[in-house]
Amino acid sequence: MTDSNTATASHNWLVKYPVDLVSAITRTAEKHGSQVYIVGGTVRDWLLGILARDLDLAVEKDGILFAENLASLSGGTFVLLDADNGVGRVVWKGYVVDVAEFRDGAIDIIADLAKRDFTMNAMAVPLLLKEEDLSSVDLIDPCHGKRDLQNSLIRSAYQASFSDDPLRLLRAYRFSSERGFAIELHTEQLIRGQANLIEDVSPERVTYELNKIMASKRSGIIVEKLAESGLLWHLFPELKKGAGLEQPPSHHLDVFDHNLATLSAMEDLQKYPQNYFPESEIILEYLADDKKKVWLKWAALFHDVGKPDALKIRNERITFYNHDRAGIEIIFSIGKRLKWSNEDMSRISCLVGNHMWPFHLSNVARTGQVSAKAILKLVKAIDDDLPGLFLLAMADSHAGQGPGRPPEIEKELADLFFQVNDVVKNKVQPVLTGPKLVTGLDLIDMGLTPGPLFKEILENIERAQVVGDVNDRQSALDIVRDLIHDQNLV
């Protein structure tokens, strides 16, 4: 593997793949009776010096039959991808082989390549049935994809590419996010002129591309470019409502630009957490989970999405009271529209809905000690996303550089996180994970009827344990008896 963008494949790359898989492919090709081509992203990656684990094959006809025969010969699993267009998949020991018939009735590989999305994906090489040098076979490159690849350019392969498949509007930016390539000027103009077509694409396909962008290391700049192209407004009209919306003196940007700056700050935080949290072991452990990193980026982009709806002018001052809570409903609306998983919606909305909590605790910490009871309440609301919540607050703070911001807020947040984490480790978690001093069965034995009161009583006991007022079962039971007596509960 090489980092060069202009690496050439001077040998038959198939020899680097498992012998059994290559043998099954070549035997299937011989049986098929027509020329088979290695195409698209596989060839692109080979020319970049990358051994792709996905192999894309194109055949003149009977693509599904080819894939079925390949699955049978290799012992892999056949997956039907598109019956109408003759596309099948074979999954074999971690490798994926996609087989497709020539597109749109194309009569040869040249016509097939001319209908692909981008020039860098419109290249092919014939499948070699013998171990010959790849250099002895001409690269089939009718759209000059190799040239664009060498120049790190994403160029539409043909004029009607985006109207034929509007998802390509978004795929251009996904490839840019992953490769660091620029989108060629005319292609960018085509995208701007047809941005509305993205609304016709199935939400599952859109979400796949968006999550790929968020998982990349260039999500901040790419989302900014999505806004410049107009695509972002068609995907998330909720964000457009914040464009041009002025904020109080703690901010120097409007609501949308602040959301965007928070995403970029989150990206930097994820790269260099030690620059923000000096004792970063817990943060690093949290960020080791790639799903959490993506949730945090979504939460950063949407953390103030509730502000336009919460806007009020009080005594000539701009206020956004409860904008964090307003964001919860908006996140669920977006998630349902884009067919996010329940876990995605729950995690992102929880971060957005609670993102002001660290700032409220920082205000308390300036004048005194944050109580263990307050920390227990936070932990029960946010669960294992406590590090994520402080990462979000830190990104939010760095994105708000107005003259009215507290001068040392980032240091306060970092110090507060480790104070909170110390209380969680030594006082809260032992109570939440340890044996219960009082259970629901105890309450029933004491004559109480199961209902909402049970939860209230048991949470009172938890709070008393965390602050140190209760240390054993007998004292816990005494609190319950006193409560029953004082309120005449039985």
- Residues 329 and 354: their CA atoms lie apart, in Å, by 13
What is the four-CA torsion angle of 403, 407, 411, 413, rounded to 10 degrees?
A: -60
Chain CA centroid to CA 356, Å: 22
Give me 138's structure tokens.
Answer: 């001409």
* Triad 61, 63, 64: Cα angle to 5°: 135
pLDDT at 13: 80
Reading the block at residue 413, the tokens are: 């947040």
- Calculate the dihedral angle through the C-alpha atoms of 257, 262, 265, 266, rounding to the nearest 10 degrees: -140
pLDDT of residue 486: 83
pLDDT of residue 3: 35
The CA–CA distances, whole Å, from 348 to 81, 204, 329, 333, 358 equal 31, 18, 11, 12, 16
At how many degrees (to 10) do helices 167-179 and 203-215 cross? 10
Q: What pLDDT is stored for residue 130 in this prediction?
A: 59
Strands 124-126 vs 95-101: parallel, antiparallel or unpaired: unpaired
Blockwise average pLDDT, block size 10, the chain, 490 residues:
36 82 94 92 92 94 96 97 95 97 93 97 85 60 97 97 97 97 98 98 98 98 98 98 94 96 98 91 96 98 97 92 97 98 98 98 93 96 96 97 90 95 95 93 91 91 94 92 82
What's residue 14's pLDDT?
A: 83
Q: Are 162 and 40 in contact (CB under 8 A)?
A: no
Identify the pLDDT of residue 2: 34
Position 39, amino acid: V
Cβ partners under 8 Å of residue 357, min gap 6: 378, 381, 382, 389, 393
Retrieve residue 17's tokens. 């793949």
> What was the pLDDT predicted at 67?
98
Residue 490: what pLDDT? 66
Q: 3-class DSSP state for residue 391? A: helix
414: nearest Cα among 367, 373, 358, 354: 358
- Cβ-Cβ contacts under 8 Å for 35 (sequence gap 6 or more): 60, 109, 126, 127
Q: Which domains does the chain have, with CATH numbers?
A: 1-157 (3.30.460.10), 159-231 (1.10.110.30), 236-429 (1.10.3210), 440-487 (no CATH)
pTM of this prediction exceeds 0.75: yes
pLDDT score for 304: 98
How many other C-beta atoms lie within 10 A of the C-beta of residue 483?
16
Conformational region of residue 447, where left means phi above 0, alpha means psi within -120 to 50, and beta covers everything else: left
Q: Are 222 and 213 in contact (CB under 8 A)?
A: yes
d(CA 231, CA 84): 29
